[in-house]
């Protein structure tokens, strides 16, 4: 396989992701042994399922182990090459990955030699490492380096080891930089590390290959007191030996979302680097700190290393980079807050999910980021060993020796100090670090809070209506902007909501003068890292920012905190005035006018940009540390430079001149009026924003339109700012980023349609793949607006244009669905008239005048085709099977609309998708007339509504919805008024109570988690295909490759434009990409990795005609989904009012009056799909394809349309989209082979099913006993499938199948357990315990051999009972984070839980007989929790937004006692027994957590029943 990592087509090497299993084994007292290594490797092998392999079983993504230098072994080995090693600590060693070619290797060695001399080192020798590459696959072998071990000795002794480490670092960093330069920048030269303490064995290996590849790891004389292991799951399969982990100081499981920004900021800091321990010359030798083409984890390691070597401890360095959520944490100790606040002035967080193991060879530790989304469990044994890993039991637990079982909590850290022989807890460790300097004092002295600054005396000028209008015109305002965007923000303090997706052109295709931000598409998290819920998990997020310059990150002085702190980035007009006229010795503010000559002459804008860049550079040189970029002062001669362009240009210019870090940028602009515009500015370096014109617009609105609100201007502006600020949090969170500071400058966008030159100059390093318009064209758009504001003749009464972005308007933006196309489509399908349909097709396809889609710029290359007769093309019926209707939930659309679509799809052999709201079980049975309302595709979304074993068993396909085109990275909400009795029943929720879908799936925080969920679902229905739904964005290709490796059968790439019931308008418009880009990238990447032939690739998003389908097929899709057009056929007329429940044609509504107006008919839908296929077949005949399979991926038959002359899009380069890789014949372009699913292996469930045969056949009871280890995953799901398939919803009678397990259960123990199952587990379990519990009973208690106290020790992992719908569970011990998340009916008793307990719960009961973590009951809209609050500290842990705390009434006490009694019966819990024994006293300590709305609804119901009975 000739895989490379260069950019070809749309594939982006920098978008590669990895995630992993990590862990360490160490001895508390530092006792070295070979056992530590052996155990660590065993643990690694037991996390094989957390890693992945690509198209070859035996090529892994990378694995490795870090240990202390096994001095004795090396001493002997060194002798063999004639080297006499000095004492440990007196020499440095490390493995070098050399190029295979000997001559080149010698070149490298020569250079090392020279450098060593310069640095006063003596090279002792190189040892060739004996490796055995026989087990490794060809891909890995193709890039296998020649590995040699370098021994090197300093000529002088150092007082401390760290001095030697520093010198080794200089040597290593310098030689890497220089040698790779000499070798032509191909990165063929690499050190695993070079240290006097540690050594790393790693490579592109699977976990099992590590000890085979490095045989010496099996040598008993190789010993260490600590070992860190890492198994990598990457989204690609390219040979990248050096990306295997551990790195020099850390092993990282996670993903740095803000990497681009962090790297930029690091780069800007380099010139400030100075400290006592490195000379300037030395610093020059080892710079740059990070390289661009390495992984996020590698960069993180680089920075940690630098901070550590410059004098901070490792924990200190990590706390700087990955701080806890401190800003809004009222429970945090002041000294810790001061520490974080101080370091905030030095460094922005490296934000993203992270579980990190770290070591300097003397101490070892681990930490979790603020969200704590990666599992980390540890065990302390009484013989001094500590085992920490991603999964409990990965190294089989010796229960009798356990002293303590724990988990890492969000933001927490622990270290093992081997010198002291003890574990140092988070509290102790951080207290020491945080009190090292008087941080608080320094802050008090130097840091200024913005709100404390004196108000400016300059009075704010309010524009007259006429002046305002002129400004609005100059900045391209439309009345729609005012009405749809600004008004709701000012009125309600929320962003506006819209529906039905978007069908307008990309900015670069549009005829309408565009705001520059429209060329930027927001990126978002899917699969490889989770988005955050910015509302329910607000506590981890922050909008804090600081203004001012910066100092060296290597030193610690009070001057570092000379900054101004602001709470959130949007400044009012008074605020900016305050800042502009600040009078303070530490701050010097300058305003740069971002205007250019409105002459219309070529180059005018570019000259303007050059001018402001120069001005900014001079300003910084003159000591200004706050620059206000302002576009005020527009007049007839001067037009505004688009503020985003100005910001990006100055930001990058200052980065290039290495002065960026010396100042902050504030933008004062009329261009900014909506959240996306704010996000882009912050993403390109603005710290704060003053959208002055939006405020002036609000003042004007308040004169008439908003007068009725009786609010002051200030209040309305405050609302606008609040909406903006929350909107920004939402934008950050969809990328999984928690803080403004780390989003700042992170450039998390793809640019579509700006030229290379513009991007290079102003948005350096951003993703932009299609080229596009240059400065002059941008100027042209600006000048259009400018000419309206300053016309040559001022006769006409000026008005704002009406807009037409969010609604169709004649004078506005083009829409694919417009009065003509909707009419023709409805008419054609009703009349069953193909001729009329062809008129519709012509209207949609012909976009010569007004381009709407990228595909409209593509044409079929008929010169490359040999036409055939249409009769030779495969028949309509065959092709119809490849269609799916879009996922739309019952709830978002009416029963009538939903079932009409389902019937139609079933009649024609396609697949309908039930959406995320569950499915009424009556639909599983066919109707008397033969029609079937059952949806073939069942969706599994983050809310898990109605996802039961029975539901899953009744599907042909299970679709994991990772994102939705209209609002990727966001959750959803079904308001209470839409949840009627019927919908409530189907969703397993209470009618009248609102429902929340979380932004992330709480069981998918990374790619290996997705593999786990796929495995779960495959167990829950072995016959169903698993479909993973992704949304197009830059990097979706690498994600798709990861998904294919996670064994999904189908990958759906959705366009960003898809319909929706409700979504913030800014998300509908600005997040994600059209499918042309996403699909092509996914297909290209899958082909490149030779993974394409294992998966079906499907696409959807505004597919309208046969041409659309043909283009999609040529770009790589063999199946397609259509939703909006099918709804139009049912009668939808694009009201875009789905979120208001007022759909006048009875589709997106639950109002019975409106539902009665529905007139859709399955036959019309079938007519539509038949027409589409007919249209497609005509194209196939033209192109000479007999079958779809022949056609998939043949993108050479597409070409750029020839007659493109449009001034804007003629600049687009579409070749990356139609790029076709030159691959061998053995590389398939469409699905040809089955995925090898792990359920095919001898999994434990097969034994269970076997053992339960009698129960399954005759309903008779069965008992059984089994041993279990962490690789036994999803135990019970397949057994439940058999129960549900046979006995439907009711399952088997209670406790029919009673199985007992002993050991450490793998993830998803008891998942989807159906009625009749009773599982007892003696030992412990991992994450996702009882996921989707569907009536079964789960019991866990510690091993009988164990001596620890269950209440203080963790027994089940994170995210237990996620999406459980019914059943019971009794857990004698503590659970991790997010216990009972999205539970809608199960009853669970547990003895303690972590953070976010009962999150989003809508039903069921949780009884917690011990401590809870923070943010309990966030988003909990239903169900009840009883918490035993002995210490009376529970209330502060509760998120009270939706719940109330109450005392228990008699009814509650009866219920509670009943379940505690059962808990005792099943688990023998002492605590529970104690409680019952002292019931009089203990019962008073219980607190009831009751959701407010839920209580109201229950009360109303009670009243109703009461009335009826009276």
Partner 1 sequence: MGKPTGFLEFTRELPKYKDAKERIHEYKEIYLEFAEEKTKTQAARCMDCGIPFCHNGCPLGNIIPEFNDAVYNSDWKLASDILLSTNNFPEFTGRICPAPCESACVLGINQPPVAIEHIEKSIIEKAFHLNLVKPNIPKERTGKKVAVVGSGPAGLATAAQLNKAGHSVTVFERADKIGGLLRYGIPDFKLEKTIVERRVKLMEEEGIIFKTNTNVGIDISIEELNKNFDAIVLSGGSTIPRDLPIPGRQFKGVFPAMEFLSQQNKRVSEIVTEVDHRGSKYENGDIFASAKNVIVIGGGDTGSDCVGTSNRHGAKSVTQIELLSKPPETRAESTPWPLWPMQLRTSSSHEEGCERQWSILTKEFIGNENGELTGLKIVEIEWKTVDGKPQMVEIQGTERVLPCELALLAMGFVHPQHQGLLESLTVELDERGNVKANNYRSSVDKFFTAGDMRRGQSLVVWAISEGRECAREVDIFLMGESLLEAKDKGVLQVI
Of 20, 196, 345, 762, the active-site residue reads 20
Residue 476 as a binder of partner 1 (CB under 8 A): the answer is: yes
Give the span between the Cα atoms of 244 and 210, in whole angstroms.
11
Question: Is the Cβ of residue 1137 or residue 1199 nearer to partner 1 in the bound state?
Answer: 1137
Tell which residue, 537, 778, 569, 783, has the closest CA to residue 667.
569
**Can you tell me which of 18, 341, 781, 1016 binds partner 1, judged by CB under 8 A?**
781
525-554 binders of partner 1 (CB under 8 A): none
Angle CA 249–276–367, to nearest 5? 25
Stretch binding partner 1 (CB under 8 A), from 271-279, 511-519, 714-722, 884-892: 511-519
Position among 1134, 1217, 1227, 1248 found at the interface with partner 1 (CB under 8 A): 1134
Q: What is the DSSP string of 219-246?
A: -TT--BSEEEEEEEEES-----GGG-S-
Closest separation in Å from C-beta 711 to partner 1: 17
Tell me which of 308, 808, 950, 1301 binds partner 1, using CB under 8 A. Answer: 808
CB 1311 within 8 A of CB 1016: yes
Q: Which of 710, 795, 869, 1203 binds partner 1 (CB under 8 A)?
A: 795
Tokens of 1364: 């459980």
Q: Judge whether 1460 and 1390 are in contact, CB under 8 Å.
A: no
| C-alpha–C-alpha distance, residues 1267 and 676, integer Å | 54
Instruction: Please say which residue, 305 or 503, places its beta carbon nearer to partner 1.
Output: 503
**Mask of contacts with partner 1, 167-186, x by CB under 8 A?**
--------------------
What residue has token string 């123990």?
A: 1309
| Cβ distance to partner 1 smaller for residue 286 or 817 | 817
Read off the tokens for 1409: 């007989």
Residues 6+ apart with CB under 8 A from 1070: 517, 518, 520, 521, 522, 676
The maximal CA–CA distance of the chain, rounded, in angstroms, is 101
Of 77 and 781, which has the nearer Cβ to partner 1? 781
In what helix (H) or strand (E) does residue 689 lie, and over which residues does it extend?
A: strand 686-690
Q: Using the structure block, give the residue that is written with the tokens 């981890």.
A: 540
Closest distance to partner 1 from the beta carbon of 1155 (Å) = 12
Question: H helices of 1075-1205, where?
Answer: 1075-1088, 1106-1114, 1124-1129, 1152-1155, 1162-1183, 1188-1191
Backbone angles phi, psi at 999, to 5 degrees: -60, -45
Measured from the CB atom, the residue of 292 and 811 that comes closer to partner 1 is 811
Residue from 429, 723, 767, 822 touching partner 1 (CB under 8 A): that is: 822
Give the range of 113-121, 234-242, 1131-1139, 1371-1379 binding partner 1 by CB under 8 A.
1131-1139
Nearer to partner 1 (CB atom), residue 796 or residue 1510? 796
Find the binder of partner 1 among 676, 730, 785, 1164 (CB under 8 A).
Answer: 785
- Interacting residues with partner 1 between 643 and 662 (CB under 8 A): none
Using CB under 8 A as the binding criterion, the count of chain residues that bind partner 1 stands at: 58
Distance in Å, CB of 1141 to partner 1, minimum:
9
Pairing assessment for the beta strands 92-98 and 638-640 based on DSSP bridges: unpaired
Distance separating alpha carbons of residues 1468 and 308, to the nearest angstrom: 49
> For the window 1184-1213, what string marks contact with partner 1 as x by the rule CB under 8 A?
-----------------------xx-----
Q: Are 1163 and 1157 in contact (CB under 8 A)?
A: no
Distance of CA 16 to the CA centre of its chain: 13
With CB under 8 A as the contact rule, the residue among 280, 459, 810, 1507 that binds partner 1 is 810
Tokens 């199948």, residue? 1297
d(CA 939, CA 928): 26
Q: How far apart are CA 825 and CA 1125, in angstroms?
A: 8
Among the listed residues 90, 208, 780, 1473, the single contact to partner 1 using CB under 8 A:
780
- State which residue, 472 or 1343, has the beta carbon closest to partner 1: 472
What sign does the CA torsion over 887, 890, 891, 896 have? Answer: positive
Site string for partner 1, 1135-1164 (x = CB under 8 A): xxx--x-x-xx-----x-xx--x-x-----
Among 276, 452, 797, 928, contact with partner 1 (rule: CB under 8 A): 797
Calculate the alpha carbon distances from 1187 to 881, 1192, 1199 in Å: 13, 9, 21
- Out of 6, 330, 452, 794, the only residue in the binding site for partner 1 (CB under 8 A) is 794
Complex with partner 1: residue 807 or 1455, whichever CB lies closer: 807
Mask 421-460, x = binds partner 1 (CB under 8 A)? ----------------------------------------
What is the spatial distance between Cα 396 and Cα 1269, in angstroms, rounded to a whole number? 7
Sign of CA dihedral 1021, 1024, 1025, 1029: negative
Site for partner 1 in 701-760 (CB under 8 A): 704-705
Between helix 1075-1088 and helix 1106-1114 the angle, nearest 10°, is 30
User: Residues in the chain, how many?
Assistant: 1510
- Between residues 392 and 778, which has the closer beta carbon with respect to partner 1? 778
Considering only residues 384 through 423, tell me which ones interact with partner 1, judged by CB under 8 A: none
Catalytic-residue membership of 20: yes
Tell me how far the alpha carbon of residue 376 is from its chain's centroid.
19
Instruction: Kindly indicate which of the ranges 331-339, 818-826, 898-906, 1379-1387 contains the residues binding partner 1, using the contact rule CB under 8 A.
Output: 818-826
Minimum distance, C-beta of residue 1169 to partner 1, in the bound complex (Å): 21
Is 807 a binding residue for partner 1 by CB under 8 A? The answer is: yes
485 binds partner 1 (CB under 8 A): no
The residue from 10, 318, 500, 960 that contacts partner 1 (CB under 8 A) is 500
Q: Binding residue for partner 1 (CB under 8 A) from 809, 1155, 1300, 1462?
A: 809
Question: At a CB cut-off of 8 Å and minimum separation 6, what does 1071 contact?
Answer: 521, 522, 523, 524, 734, 967, 968, 969, 1033, 1056
Residue 79 phi/psi, 5-degree rounding, is -55, -40
Q: Considering the rule CB under 8 A, would residue 826 count as an interface residue with partner 1? A: yes
Residue closer to partner 1 by CB (options 601, 1501) is 601
User: With CB under 8 A as the contact rule, which of the stretches 809-817, 1113-1121, 1268-1276, 1384-1392 interacts with partner 1?
Assistant: 809-817
| Interatomic CA distance for residues 1109 and 101, integer angstroms | 49
Stretch in the footprint of partner 1 (CB under 8 A) among 602-610, 623-631, 791-799, 1384-1392 = 791-799
- For residue 478, state whether it binds partner 1 (rule: CB under 8 A): yes
Question: Segment near partner 1 (CB under 8 A), from 159-167, 471-479, 628-636, 1327-1335?
Answer: 471-479
Q: Is 468 exposed, middle or buried (0-12, 13-18, 19+ CB in 10 A)?
A: middle
d(CA 1320, CA 1298): 8
Closest CA to 204 of 176, 175, 236: 236
Query: Which span sits near partner 1 by CB under 8 A: 330-338, 764-772, 799-807, 1315-1323?
Result: 799-807
Q: How far is the CB of 1142 from partner 1 (least distance, A)?
A: 5
Q: How far is the CB of 1205 from partner 1 (least distance, A)?
A: 12
Tokens of 501: 């997706």
CB of 814 to partner 1, least distance (A): 10
Contact (CB, 8 A) for 1325 and 1345 = no
DSSP secondary structure code for residue 482 in this structure = I
Nearest to partner 1 of 642, 1404 (CB atom): 642
- Binding footprint of partner 1 on the chain (CB under 8 A): 476, 478-479, 500, 511-513, 704-705, 780-781, 784-785, 788, 791, 793-797, 799, 801-802, 804, 806-812, 815, 817-820, 822-823, 826-827, 830, 1131, 1133-1137, 1140, 1142, 1144-1145, 1151, 1153-1154, 1157, 1159, 1207-1208
Show which residues are catalytic: 20
């Amino acid at each position: 396989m000739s895989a490379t990592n260069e950019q070809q087509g749309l594939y982006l090497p920098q978008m590669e992701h990895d995630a992993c299993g990590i862990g360490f084994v160490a001895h508390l007292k530092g006792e070295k042994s070979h056992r530590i290594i052996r155990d660590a490797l065993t643990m690694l092998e037991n996390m094989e399922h957390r890693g992945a392999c690509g198209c070859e079983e035996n090529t892994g993504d990378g694995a490795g182990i870090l240990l202390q230098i096994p001095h004795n072994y090396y001493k002997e080995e060194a002798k063999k090459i004639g080297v006499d090693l000095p004492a440990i600590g007196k020499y440095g060693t490390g493995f070098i990955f050399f190029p295979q070619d000997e001559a080149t290797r010698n070149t490298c060695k020569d250079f090392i030699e020279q450098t060593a001399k310069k640095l006063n080192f003596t090279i002792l020798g190189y040892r060739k490492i004996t490796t055995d590459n026989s087990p490794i696959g060809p891909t890995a072998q193709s890039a296998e380096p020649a590995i040699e071990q370098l021994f090197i000795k300093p000529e002088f002794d150092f007082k401390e080891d760290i001095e030697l480490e520093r010198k080794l670092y200089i040597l290593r960093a310098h030689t890497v930089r220089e040698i790779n330069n000499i070798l032509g920048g191909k990165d063929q030269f690499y050190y695993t590390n070079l240290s006097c303490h540690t050594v790393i064995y790693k490579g592109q290996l699977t976990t099992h290959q590590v000890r085979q590849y490095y045989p010496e790891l099996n040598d008993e004389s190789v010993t260490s007191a600590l070992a860190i292991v890492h198994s990598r799951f990457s989204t690609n399969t390219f040979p990248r030996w050096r990306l295997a982990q551990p790195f020099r100081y850390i092993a990282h499981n996670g993903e740095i979302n803000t990497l681009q920004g962090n790297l930029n900021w690091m780069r800007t800091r380099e010139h400030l680097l100075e400290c006592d321990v490195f000379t300037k010359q030395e610093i020059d030798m080892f710079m740059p700190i990070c390289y661009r083409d390495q992984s996020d984890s590698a960069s993180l390691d680089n920075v940690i290393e630098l901070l550590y070597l410059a004098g901070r401890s490792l924990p200190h360095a990590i706390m700087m980079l990955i701080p806890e959520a401190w800003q809004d944490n009222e429970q945090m100790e002041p000294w810790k807050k001061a520490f974080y606040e101080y370091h905030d002035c030095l460094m922005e967080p490296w934000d993203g999910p992270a579980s990190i193991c770290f070591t300097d060879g003397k101490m070892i530790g681990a930490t979790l980021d603020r969200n704590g989304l990666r599992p980390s469990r540890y065990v302390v044994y009484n013989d001094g060993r500590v085992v920490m890993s991603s999964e409990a039991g990965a190294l089989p637990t010796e229960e009798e020796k356990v002293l303590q079982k724990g988990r890492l909590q969000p933001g927490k850290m622990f270290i093992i100090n081997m010198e002291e022989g003890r574990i140092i807890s988070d509290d102790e460790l951080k207290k020491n670090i945080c009190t090292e300097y008087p941080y608080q004092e320094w802050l008090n002295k130097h840091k200024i809070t913005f709100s404390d600054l004196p108000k400016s005396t300059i009075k704010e000028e309010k524009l007259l209506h006429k002046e305002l209008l002129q400004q609005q015109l100059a900045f391209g305002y439309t009345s729609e902007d005012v009405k749809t965007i600004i008004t709701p923000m000012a009125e309600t303090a929320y962003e506006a909501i819209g529906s039905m997706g978007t069908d307008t052109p990309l900015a670069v295709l549009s005829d309408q003068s565009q705001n520059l931000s429209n060329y930027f598409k927001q990126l978002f998290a899917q699969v490889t890292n989770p988005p955050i819920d910015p509302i329910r998990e607000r506590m981890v997020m922050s909008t804090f920012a600081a203004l001012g310059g910066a100092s060296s990150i290597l030193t610690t002085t009070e001057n570092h905190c000379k900054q101004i702190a602001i709470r959130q980035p949007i400044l009012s007009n008074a605020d900016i005035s305050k800042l502009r006229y600040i009078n303070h010795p530490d701050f010097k503010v300058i305003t740069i006018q971002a205007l250019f000559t409105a002459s219309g002459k070529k180059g005018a804008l570019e000259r303007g940009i050059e001018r402001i860049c120069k001005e900014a550079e001079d300003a910084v040189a003159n000591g200004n540390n706050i620059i206000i970029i302002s576009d005020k002062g527009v007049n007839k001669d001067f037009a505004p430079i688009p503020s985003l362009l100005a910001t990006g240009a100055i930001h990058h210019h200052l980065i290039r001149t290495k002065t960026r870090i010396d100042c902050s940028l504030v933008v004062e602009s009329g261009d900014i009026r909506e959240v996306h515009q704010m996000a882009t500015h912050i993403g390109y370096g603005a710290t704060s924003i003053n959208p002055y014109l939006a405020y002036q617009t609000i003042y004007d609105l308040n004169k008439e339109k908003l007068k009725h609100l009786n609010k002051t201007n200030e209040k309305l502006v405050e609302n606008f700012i609040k909406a903006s600020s929350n909107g920004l949090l939402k934008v950050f969170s969809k990328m999984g980023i928690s803080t403004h500071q780390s989003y700042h400058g992170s450039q998390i966008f793809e640019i579509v349609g700006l030229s290379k030159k513009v991007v290079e100059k102003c948005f350096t390093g951003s993703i932009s793949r299609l080229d596009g318009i240059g400065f002059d064209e941008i100027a042209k758009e600006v000048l259009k607006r400018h000419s309206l504001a300053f016309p040559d003749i001022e006769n006409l009464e000026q008005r704002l244009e009406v807009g037409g972005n969010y609604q169709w308007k004649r004078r506005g933006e083009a829409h694919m669905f417009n009065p003509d196309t909707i009419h023709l489509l409805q008419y054609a399908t009703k009349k069953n008239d193909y001729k009329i349909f062809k008129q519709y097709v012509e209207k949609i396809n012909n976009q010569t005048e007004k381009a709407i889609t990228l595909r409209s710029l593509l044409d079929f290359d008929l010169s490359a085709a040999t036409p055939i007769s249409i009769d030779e093309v495969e028949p309509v019926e065959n092709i119809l099977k490849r269609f799916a209707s879009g996922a739309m939930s019952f709830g978002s659309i009416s029963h009538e609309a939903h079932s009409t679509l389902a019937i139609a799809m079933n009649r024609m052999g396609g697949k309908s998708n039930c959406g995320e709201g569950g499915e009424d079980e009556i639909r599983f049975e066919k109707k008397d007339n033969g029609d079937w309302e059952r949806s073939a595709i069942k969706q599994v979304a983050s809310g898990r509504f109605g996802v039961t074993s029975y539901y899953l068993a009744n599907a042909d396909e299970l679709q994991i919805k990772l994102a939705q085109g209209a609002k990727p990275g966001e959750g959803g909400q079904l308001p209470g008024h839409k949840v009627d009795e019927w919908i409530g029943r189907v969703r397993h929720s209470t009618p009248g109570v609102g429902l929340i879908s979380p932004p992330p799936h709480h069981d998918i925080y990374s790619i290996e988690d997705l593999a786990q969920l796929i495995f779960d679902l495959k167990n829950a229905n072995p016959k169903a295909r698993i479909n993973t739904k992704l949304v197009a964005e830059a990097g979706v290709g690498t994600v798709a490759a990861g998904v294919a490796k996670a064994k999904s059968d189908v990958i759906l790439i959705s366009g960003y434009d898809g319909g929706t019931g409700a979504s913030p308008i800014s998300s509908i418009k600005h997040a994600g990409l059209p499918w042309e880009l996403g699909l092509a990238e996914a297909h290209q990447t899958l082909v490149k990795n030779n993974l394409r032939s294992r998966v079906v690739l499907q696409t959807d998003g505004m597919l309208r005609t046969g041409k659309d389908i043909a283009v999609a097929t040529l770009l790589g899709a063999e199946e397609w989904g259509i939703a909006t057009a099918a709804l139009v056929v049912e009668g939808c007329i694009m009201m875009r009012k789905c979120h208001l429940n007022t759909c006048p044609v009875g589709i997106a509504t639950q109002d019975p009056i409106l539902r009665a107006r529905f007139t859709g008919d399955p036959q019309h839908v079938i007519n539509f799909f038949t027409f589409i296929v007919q249209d497609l077949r005509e194209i196939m005949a033209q192109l000479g394809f007999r079958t779809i399979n022949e056609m998939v991926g043949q993108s050479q038959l597409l070409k750029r349309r020839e007659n493109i002359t449009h001034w804007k899009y003629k600049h687009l380069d579409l070749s990356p989209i139609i790029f076709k890789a030159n691959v061998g014949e053995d590389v398939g372009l469409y699905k040809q082979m089955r995925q090898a699913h792990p359920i095919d292996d001898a999994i434990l469930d097969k034994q269970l099913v076997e053992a339960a045969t009698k129960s399954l056949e005759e309903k008779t009871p069965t008992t059984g006993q089994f041993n279990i280890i962490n690789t036994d995953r999803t135990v019970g799901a397949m057994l439940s499938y058999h129960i549900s398939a046979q006995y439907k919803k009711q399952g088997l009678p209670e406790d029919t199948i009673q199985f007992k397990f002993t050991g450490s259960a793998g993830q998803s123990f008891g998942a989807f357990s159906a009625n009749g199952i009773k599982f007892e587990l003696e030992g412990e379990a991992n994450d996702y315990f009882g996921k989707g519990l569907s009536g079964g009973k789960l019991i866990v208690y510690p091993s009988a051999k164990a001596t620890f106290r269950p209440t203080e020790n963790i027994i089940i992992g994170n995210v237990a009972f996620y999406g459980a719908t019914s059943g019971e569970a009794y857990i004698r011990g503590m659970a991790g984070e997010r216990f009972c998340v999205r539970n809608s009916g199960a009853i669970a008793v547990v003895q303690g839980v972590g953070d976010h307990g009962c999150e989003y719960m809508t039903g069921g009961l949780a009884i917690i007989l011990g401590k809870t973590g923070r943010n309990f009951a966030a988003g909990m809209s239903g169900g009840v929790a009883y918490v035993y609050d002995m210490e009376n500290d529970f209330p502060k842990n509760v998120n009270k937004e939706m719940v109330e705390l109450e005392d228990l009434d008699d009814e509650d006490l009866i219920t509670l006692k009943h379940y505690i009694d059962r808990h005792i019966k099943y688990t023998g819990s002492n605590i529970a027994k104690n409680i019952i024994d002292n019931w009089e006293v203990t019962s008073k300590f219980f607190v009831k957590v009751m959701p407010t709305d839920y209580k109201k609804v229950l009360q109303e119901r009670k009243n109703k029943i009461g009335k009826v009975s009276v």
